[in-house]
A = this chain, B = another copy of it.
Amino acid sequence: MPVTSHDIAREAGVSQSTVSRALRGDPRVAPETLARVLDVARQLHYTPNLAARSLITNRTYAVAVLVSHIRNPVYPQLVDTLHDELSLFGYRTVLLNGTRDELVPEIQAGAVDGVVLASATLGASMPAKLLANNTPLVLLNRDMDDLPTDRVTSDNLAGAALAAEALVSLGHKRIGMISGPQDTTTGRDRERGFLDGLARMGREIDPRLRRTSDYTHQGGYQWGMELLRADPRPTAIFCANDVVAFGVLDAAVRMGFRVPGDLSIIGYDDIAMAGWDVFGLSTVHQPLDQMAKSAARMLVERIDQPTLPPRLQVFPANLVRRATTGPAPTA
Stretch at the interface among A70-78, A130-138, A234-242: A70-78
Which one, A87-95, A172-180, A304-312, is touching chain B?
A87-95
Instruction: Identify A62's interface contact among B76, B83, B106, B251, CB under 8 A.
Output: B106
Residue of B nearest to A249 (CB): B278
Indicate whether A98 reaches chain B with its CB closer than 8 angstroms. Answer: yes
**How far apart are A254's CB and chain B's nearest CB, in angstroms?**
5
Within 8 A of B (CB), among A300-325: none
A278 smallest CB distance to B (angstroms): 5
Instruction: Identify which of B95, B251, B253, B276 contacts A96 (C-beta below 8 A).
Output: B95
| Binary interface encoding of chain A residues 94-125 relative to chain B, with 1 for a CB under 8 A from any of its CBs, else 0 | 11111000001110000100000000000000
Residues of B close to A251: CB separation below 8 A: 277
The answer, yes or no, to whether A269 is at the interface (CB within 8 Å) is no
Q: How far is the CB of A263 from chain B (nearest CB, A)?
A: 14
User: Which residues on B sit within 8 Å (CB–CB) of A75?
Assistant: 76
- Pairs A–B under 8 Å by Cβ, sample size 8: A62-B105, A71-B73, A79-B97, A80-B97, A92-B105, A94-B94, A94-B95, A95-B96
A246 at the A/B interface (Cβ < 8 Å)? yes
